Amino acid sequence: MRFAHLRRPDSPLAVLAVVQDSDAILVSDLLNDAPATLQKLIERGDGVLDELRAALAEGTAPRHPLGDWTFDSAVLAPPAVLAVGLNYAAHSSELGLKTDSAPTVFTLWPNSLNGHEQITSWTRALSEAVDYEAELGVIMGTPAKDVSEADALSHVWGYTVVNDITARNIQFSEAQWSRCKSFDGFTPTGPFAVTADEVADPQDLHIWAVVDGHTVQDASTGQMVRSVAKLIAHLSQSVTLLPGTLISTGSPGGAGYSRDPQIFLRDHSTVTVGIDGLGELTTYCRITG
């Protein structure tokens, strides 16, 4: 199943919907006492997915064209957003950074979450070196503490697409990476959150990015230095990964910073990052001031 947080153009409130083809079916039309967000749905456990499948099979709930809605972030108010850096050898090399023996982990601030086909803006005074990074997002389903690599994927609820937008000038001038990647709107996710049963192998997914019509990243999640399962097992040694936690698993090579000439996101740039089977996530860029 795939879910989205959707908003009417005239409403600030997001609603949770199941997406089938080009239609949205509101979860509130499928269930009594329906969860209002993906986070609430995940916290109810797998049983609610069975209830939704049964309600969908009845075929009586109204269907709404997706084109009548706008997208919010695929995840809203997760317990944490954890990001992994330097998890593809090509990306580490192009940034001139070493892939360490343990993953590079940092947090992303919740104000950075943004939706598909939304605008991300920043001021020229803050950065003229804003970059894109296509990443696979992993959404946890059940608490994971001290889990083994073999058992790690059983704790995953699903997957989404993440664009880990980065102000490179700040990244290379500060000792930590949270601020350079957590400007307002710098973490678009979506369009959809896709349940784990639809992803046979998270290490066998085509991942790419297109900036202003040009393909700039084109890789496979199989090129990760550390697999999704290894990342979950490692992170769970020090912290309980709570249901709904989003883990952004790193970006392949092709970042704009390392290109000659460099490619940075400009005023009115359009960047689309995509992963086969999960969807294509588009962001419109605006530079103000």
**Phi-psi domain of 21 (left: phi exceeds 0; alpha: psi -120 through 50; beta: other):** left
Q: What percent of the chain has pLDDT over 70?
A: 96
- Ranges for all domains in the chain classified under CATH 3.90.850.10: 81-288
Q: Report the candidate in 141, 178, 209, 127 with the shortest Cα–Cα distance to residue 1.
A: 141
**Burial profile 136-146: b = 16 or more Cβ within 10 angstroms, e = fewer:** bbbbbbeebee
What backbone torsions phi and psi does residue 14 show, to the nearest 5 degrees? -90, 145
Using an 8 Å Cβ cutoff, are 34 and 27 in contact? Answer: yes
pLDDT at 92 over 60: no
Q: Give the CATH fold of the 81-288 domain.
A: Fumarylacetoacetate hydrolase; domain 2 (3.90.850)
Centre a 10 Å sphere on the Cβ of residue 160 and count the other Cβ atoms it contains. Answer: 28
pLDDT of residue 95: 63
Cα separation, 60 vs 29, whole angstroms:
9
Over residues 17-27, the mean pLDDT reads 97
The string of pLDDT tens digits covering residues 247-271 is 999 999 999 998 999 999 999 999 9
pLDDT grade for 12, boundaries at 50, 70 and 90: confident
Cα separation, 55 vs 48, whole angstroms:
10
What's the token pair of residue 201? 């192998």
